Amino acid sequence: MQIRVGVNGATTEHDVEPRTLLVHYLREDVGLTGTKVGCDTSSCGACTVLVDGESVKSCTMLAVQADGAEVTTIEGLAPEGEMHRVQQAFHEQHGLQCGFCTAGMVMASVSLLEEVPNPTERDVRLGLEGNLCRCTGYHNIVQAVLAAARAGS
Ligand code: FES
Ligand code: FES
């Protein structure tokens, strides 16, 4: 099926099989490999992107369902090379170790801060409960999101 998807402000158009997942469309057809695949059970959140501004695990959505939508991936957060405040906060607060979960964590955090601009620590922990990190113990990730919130207020 021919689909047309806005990705980070550009129009992408590809012929995909109906069973193609959005995450595979982004990584293999569009060539944006910042979005990661960390599980096959919809549980890790490494594949999180924004679809029409909403946080979505892109392994739970078919590419054809994104036909006509606007998708933002981690590559779209810093189009001019200047880090988004959430990326900057993850950097400054050491909110990552191996980095595998980071793109998904950052995208989920961007979405969270859109909905709750001044979250409490509990809000952040609840907001990111769908994103797993095997390295950090979460403390610095939570601190990073709180710092990003302060930077945006
Ligand atoms: S790869 Fe999508 S939730 Fe794990
Ligand atoms: S930094 Fe390694 S999985 Fe989160």
Distance CA 124, CA 121 (A): 5
Please write the tens of the pLDDT for every residue from 111-147. 999 999 999 999 999 999 999 999 999 999 999 999 9
pLDDT for position 148: 98
The predicted model scores a pTM of 0.96
- Which pLDDT band, with edges at 50, 70 and 90, does 16 fall under? very high
Type of residue at 23: V
For residue 12, the CA-to-ligand 2 centroid distance in Å is 30
Whose C-alpha lies nearest to ligand 1, atom 1? 37
pLDDT for position 101: 98
User: Which whole number is the average pLDDT over 103-118?
Assistant: 98
Please write the tens of the pLDDT for every residue from 23-76. 999 999 999 999 999 997 999 999 999 999 999 999 999 999 999 999 999 999
Distance CA 15, CA 114 (A): 33
Q: Does ligand 1 have an atom closer than 6 angstroms to the CB of 120?
A: no
Helix (H, G, I), strand (E, B) or coil at 13: strand
Whose C-alpha lies nearest to ligand 2, atom 4? 133
Find all residues with CB under 8 Å of 75, minimum gap 6, and list them. Answer: 8, 32, 34
For residue 56, the CA-to-ligand 1 centroid distance in Å is 10
Cα end-to-end span (Å), the chain: 44
pLDDT for position 79: 80
Looking from the CA of 98 toward its CB, the CA atoms found within 13 Å total: 10
Which DSSP category does 9 fall into? Answer: T
Are the C-beta atoms of 70 and 54 separated by less than 8 Å? no
pLDDT for position 81: 84
Are the C-beta atoms of 84 and 73 separated by less than 8 Å? no
Distance CA 56, CA 84 (A): 19
